[in-house]
Every structure is written in C-alpha cells, then in structure tokens.
Structure 1
Amino acid sequence: MYFPRGINKKVGIIVQARMGSTRLPGKVLMKLVDSESILGYLLKRLSGCSFVDKIIVATTTNPKDDILERWLKKRKQDFYRGSEDDCIKRYYKAADKFGLDIVIRITSDCPFILPDIVDEMVKYYLFNMKDIDYLSNRQATNFPEGTDVEIFTSKMLQEAQQEAKLKEEREHVNNFFLNRPTRYRIRYYNHNLRRDYSRFKLSIDTAEDLKKAKSFLKENNLPLNFAFKDLAKALSNII
C-alpha cells in the first residue's frame, strides 16, 4: 500500500466484545448465518480489509468471558483481556500490547461492518493526519447505524488513559475525544451515494435484532464479502 512519504504506521482493528451483554447475554457467540456466530462472521469480514496490519479482540477478565477466550484461542485469534467497565484502559492496554500506532475501533454487535469502507477511511485518515485526529462514520453521517468505524491514534488513547476521570468517559472510549472538540480535530466520513441510509439500524442488541439480521442476510443472498454497494442495494429494497 502507498502512503505519503514519511508515514509508516502500524494500523490495527480492536473489536470490543464480551459475553455479558445486558440486553442479549452471550450474543457474540450466537449463530448468525449457517454455523457462524456474530463475532465469527464479523472477524471473517474484517479479514478482507486490505490496509490493516492486525485484528485484535478486546474482551474482559470477567469469568463469563473465559468461554470467549477459549473460542478465540481455538480460532488462533489475537486478543487481550482487560477491565470490563474501564473500556479506555482495555483499549489502551490492547493497543500497547500489539504495538499499534493507529487504532480502528469496532464493536462486536456490528457484523455488517464494511471492509471496503474501513479501507477507504484508513486511507483518508492517513493521508489527512495533519488535519484530523478522530475520524468516524457514526455520528452525523449518511451510513446505516451498525456499520460504525472510528479511527484515532494510540497517542490519543494514552492521553485518555491518563486524563479521563468521568465514569462515562472511562466506559465509552470515544466520549473523551468527542467531549473535547477544541482539543481534537474531529471529522465525520460520509459515503458518496445519493441516498441517506442513516435511518437503518443494523447493529444487534436484542433477540429481535438478531432475527431481523438473519432474515436480511438470507432474503438478500448477501455473500460473506459483500461491499457497501451490495448493502446499499439491499437496503434500497426496503420501503
């Protein structure tokens, strides 16, 4: 991959995952399509990213996640176990353990993450680092909810780890950055299609969400490696 001269960054995806979901406990290992779980499906899709050096699952030290650790080891998947409630610390420690320079934050309830969009955003971020600190397609964008990608530096994580005091900032990785718009240069990434897809919810939080996701994949015959144009076409069929 070509980046501007002088840029030599280790880029890694950190997937936030745990078994102790409040609304749907154990959902990350629940079946989504064929015999594959939500997390397994997501990780397979992320493996299609071209501009990522490492994919890491950041789970917790809660004994409930022992089964998740065994599952990750069986798949030879890189992972880190850390604080359940202090997500900033968990992300910081995971990024530090694997020597990341650039962190891509993804949550495990979003199996519809788009590898082609991840690649687009990584390129955009690295080519514009002099003007951007935090890049996201989550807030105020035209992407469907549940295709969420956030990109920031490990240095920013270190600052959050050292300085964040509020409980809501420790629990939610991005709040520390979003609460400081004069300190961090925040940019939102939109797709270039004419239609706004932000009204669609694709994340899986409940049993009903999981049921809808299964039906959506089956009815639209979406392959494992579907791209944004494929998803957009499928969503366009929904009135």
Structure 2
Amino acid sequence: MKIVATIEARMTSSRLPGKTLLPAAGISMLEHLVRRLKAVPSIDAIVLATTVNAADAPLVDLAERLGIAAFRGDEDDVMQRVIDAAASAQADVVVEITGDCPIIDPEIVEQTIRMFKAHRADYVSNALVRSYPDGMDTQVFRLETLRKSAAMTNEPLDREHVTLHIRNHPELFSHVHLVAPPEIHWPELGLTLDERSDYDLLKKIIEHFDAQGNALFSCLDAVRLLRQFPEFAEINKDVVRKGNT
C-alpha cells in the first residue's frame, strides 16, 4: 500500500499571490511544508499538484530542487488534478494537504494516517470536525475512493474542493474524525496562509523556533508560544476564512 502526500499549490491565489514562495528563516513556505511532510514516517512519496499555468513554473522548479515529484493539471478541476497527481506517483492512499499549511505538524499527519490504517473508513480527517488550529488539516483516503467520488459528480464546487462530495455524503462514504486533545484544542486559531497578516504571524513563529534550532516544532509548541505571547495571535485575528466548503 503506497501512501502518497499530495500538496495542492499555485501562485495565483486571489488573496495573497505567490504566497507559497514567501520566505521565512531563509526558505520558502512551500519548502517548510515539504520538510515537514518528509518527516512523516508513513508517507512514501510527495507530489506537488500544481497547474498548467505558466505562473506556476517556479513551483515545479522548486519541487525538483527539493527532490519531490510535480504534476501539472487543471486549475479549476482540483479534484481531477489531485487524482492525476496521485496516480502519477502510483498512490494507493492519498494524504491530501494544501499548500497553505506550511507549519503542519508531522505527528498529527502521522496520527491521521495511522487512524486510516486502523479503520475500514473511506475517509479519515482532522478537519471536518473543527478542533485543531486551522493549518493542521489532513485528509486521508484511498485513490480509488476519490475516483469513485469524481465519477459521481460534475458540480463545480465538488470539483474545486477535492473531498467536498465525500464529506457531504457520509451515507456513501464512511468517515472517521480525529479530534484535538485539550492542550491543542484551538479551532479559532489561524495557522494557515491566506492573507498577508497570516504570513506575518507564521513568519514570526517559524523564525522564533528556527532561532532555537527547532525547525520541526510541533503544533503544541506553537500553541504554547501563542498562549505565552497572546499579542502574536492578535496579528491575524481579523482574517475572515472562506470556511471548509
């Protein structure tokens, strides 16, 4: 059973163009994310699922430098892009990650994969039932499950939001949900990269721990830092999230 992480990323974000290449502690946000996924024991391969737009060529170049695969597909049909990217890496199981989660916790990703392995569910996630800070979102499913879902819908929203059809039809696809332990239960906290103020916060967090030699700091480390310095969490408190469509 080959487990492949897919990273959905593009340069043409409407709210913060080029966000995945913004720097922190000397490297891009995308490189921080890739480093973290490489630290997940159960992941066998990583593939960047980007678009055919010319603007995304720098992402493909970076993927090559980082030693991960890249697949270029349709910008709007993200569901098909993820299917094709995962298939290009011969995936049996997909660990779906978005490029706006640069400080995702490798241990949380591993826990989600292990939960998938331990159950016969079609879909395992820590994101549908909100409990973790936003930016720790991990979804795990078989590639065949996503293909089955894709064959059942041509709704534009379903095609844009990869697992929306699976999430909206628990009568068709069985679900298991991870819930955060009390020490990191903070669903209102935004540790995802949507707007400039998110970047300001994430850069501050990353560079704080990088200076301590702790590049792979955990979600708990970040939560403790923001509890200690609540003014940090104020940096992006006014960002309005689009929601888990």
Q: TM-score, normalised by structure 2?
A: 0.87
1:14 aligns with 2:6: yes
Greater helix content: 2
1:79 aligns with 2:84: no
Residue in structure 1 matching 2:119, options 105, 125, 128 = 128
Give the stretch that moved more between structures: 64-73 or 175-184. 64-73
- Deviation of residue 195 (structure 1)? 5.4
Q: Secondary structure at the match of 1:22?
A: coil
1:151 aligns with 2:140: yes
Q: Secondary structure at the match of 1:49?
A: coil
1:187 aligns with 2:176: yes
Give the letter aligned to residue 208 of structure 1: S
Give the letter aligned to residue 162 of structure 1: A
1:200 aligns with 2:192: no
CA distance in 2, matches of 1:160, 1:83: 18
Residue in structure 2 matching 1:26, options 3, 15, 18 = 18
Aligned CA distance change for structure 1 residues 76 and 196 (closer, same or farther; 3 Å): closer
CA distance in 2, matches of 1:76, 1:186: 33
- Deviation of residue 139 (structure 1)? 2.5
Structure 2, unaligned runs of 5 or more: 231-245
Q: TM-score, normalised by structure 1?
A: 0.90
Give the stretch that moved more between structures: 213-222 or 110-119. 213-222
- State the Cα RMSD in Å: 1.6
**8 Å Cα contact 1:15-1:58 kept in structure 2:** yes
Residue by residue, what CA displacement relative to the aligned partner does 1:88-135 show, whole Å, maximum 9, x if unpaired? 110111111111111111001111211011111111110112xx2111
Q: Which runs of 4+ in 1 moved over 6 A?
A: none
Report percent identity of matched pairs: 29
1:224 aligns with 2:232: no
How many residues in Structure 1 have an aligned counterpart in Structure 2? 228
Q: Secondary structure at the match of 1:182?
A: coil
Structure 1, unaligned runs of 5 or more: 1-8
